[in-house]
Amino acid sequence: MALRFKLFIVCFIYISVSVSQRINIGIYSESNVKTFVFTPVKGNYEFTGDNSVKNIILQNDVIYIALLGDSVNIKSLDKNFGNFGDVYFIGENNSCSFKIKPVFPDINTREYENDLRVTILYKKLLLVNHVELENYIAGVVESEGGSKAHNEYYKSQAIICRTYALSNFDRHVSEGFNLCDGVHCQAYKSKCHKNPEIYSSTISTKGLIIVDTTLNLITAAFHSNCGGMTANCEDVWLKHLSYLRSVRDPYCTGSFNATWQKTITADQWKVYLKKSNLTVTEPAKASDFNFYQEIRKANYEYNGQTIPLKRIRTDWGLKSTYFTLTAEGNNLIMKGRGYGHGTGLCQEGAMKMAESGITYDKIIKFYYTNTYTISLRALEFFKEPVQINTFPTDSTKININ
């Protein structure tokens, strides 16, 4: 690593980005919301329809929004504002928040910070939350990481979620937003509201991201529990990444998702092997199929033939690929460790590390080999700055058809 870079890491690692940055998140992306109620919870909002009609929506006002043909219909209790193609609800200041109650379909109310755009995409309502990046990160940490962990864990999770958001900034750009709120991107099911420590942990790491030795933002993969050893990423996906290396993890082995068990018959397994084009030597005993993983392996092995463990995990709906097979009579006992794909940060291990006093930077370094936690500002010194969209802009215009 160049000395110049080392010096900058030292100088800037704890300096946060002062510029206010926003991101566009497609919300309720996994539901086809046709009608909903919009209500400002904190502060007043200005409503703009097709850049012409403007109205002030006061705190606690109730606005009905519905898909009507190819338009968005906006009504209050006593007024029909009309039909529009593109509608914005802009908060009067940065601390404004609003809630959304979908009426059709009838699903839970959620609260969001900052602004909302409502338009039409592929004949459906498209809801986009234009939100401060750090507000979004705190909401993701709460949705992805639970609400009862230690601050140092929340800090590591905030840095991971921020790194993911910025390295996947263009994922939905053709649809008019940056990231969706589902598992396709990162779960974001509301503003952070259950635990104020999540928000303060997010703000205390504001602007920090993780880069590899070539100064590229890393693919910050994480999972629930690795079972005592994380996986090399090429055993999970096809691509080799220098920082997603298998490490032994002594921290998660007593946690909730550390072990699992499933029993199948030897005959079921035999049928599966044959379906997978393996030649089974007959007569076969259940113990012929025994399989052990002291350290994580990429493949199940039988008589010199193999099946990728990730395929077995999918085919059998297993919690992990880190399992052994042991014969008991005519049955095979699958004894598994961990939950999830197993590569990158192990959430339950990271929670234990945080509880035992290990700081977020060391947690990140433990799970992501040869990486650096630096500020965006330090990164911008070496590379082109990460572009954050404004709202509304030409770049967020979408194709309506």
Q: Which residues bind Zn ion (CB under 5 A)?
A: 180, 184-185, 226, 249, 252, 346, 349
Number of Cβ within 10 Å of residue 393's Cβ equals: 9
Q: Which residues pair with 88 in a beta bridge?
A: 48, 117
Between 87 and 185, whose beta carbon lies closer to Zn ion?
185
Between 81 and 188, whose beta carbon lies closer to Zn ion?
188
Between 158 and 165, whose beta carbon lies closer to Zn ion?
165
User: What CA–CA distance (Å, rounded) separates 36 from 118?
Assistant: 11
Asked if residues 227 and 338 have their Cβ atoms less than 8 Å apart, the reply is yes
Q: How far is the CB of 230 from Zn ion (least distance, A)?
A: 6
Is residue 143 helix, strand or coil? Answer: helix
Between 223 and 310, whose beta carbon lies closer to Zn ion?
223
Q: How far is the CB of 179 from Zn ion (least distance, A)?
A: 6
Q: How far is the CB of 366 from Zn ion (least distance, A)?
A: 10
Q: Which residues pair with 374 in a beta bridge?
A: 209
Q: How far is the CB of 28 from Zn ion (least distance, A)?
A: 13
Q: In terms of DSSP bridges, do strands 124-132 and 115-121 run parallel, antiparallel, or are they unpaired? A: antiparallel
**Side chain identity at 117, as an amino acid letter?**
R
Between 47 and 181, whose beta carbon lies closer to Zn ion?
181
User: What CA–CA distance (Å, rounded) separates 125 from 388?
Assistant: 24
Q: How far is the CB of 159 from Zn ion (least distance, A)?
A: 18
Instruction: Report the candidate in 1, 391, 371, 3 with the shortest Cα–Cα distance to residue 208.
Output: 371
Between 349 and 392, whose beta carbon lies closer to Zn ion?
349
Q: How far is the CB of 198 from Zn ion (least distance, A)?
A: 21
Q: What is the CA radius of gyration of the chain?
A: 25
User: What CA–CA distance (Å, rounded) separates 371 from 378?
Assistant: 14
Between 185 and 209, whose beta carbon lies closer to Zn ion?
185
Between 164 and 199, whose beta carbon lies closer to Zn ion?
164
Using the CB atoms, write b or e for 133-164: b if 16+ within 10 Å.
Answer: bbbbbbbbbbbbbbeebbebbbbbbbbbbbbb
Asked if residues 199 and 190 have their Cβ atoms less than 8 Å apart, the reply is no
Between 220 and 346, whose beta carbon lies closer to Zn ion?
346
**Cis (ω within 30 of 0) for the bond into 308?**
no
Burial-class residue 372 by CB neighbours within 10 Å (0-12, 13-18, 19+).
buried
Q: How far is the CB of 240 from Zn ion (least distance, A)?
A: 21
Joined tokens for residue 26:
């497609």
User: What CA–CA distance (Å, rounded) separates 124 from 130?
Assistant: 19
Q: How far is the CB of 225 from Zn ion (least distance, A)?
A: 5
User: What CA–CA distance (Å, rounded) separates 130 from 115?
Assistant: 5
Q: How far is the CB of 72 from Zn ion (least distance, A)?
A: 22
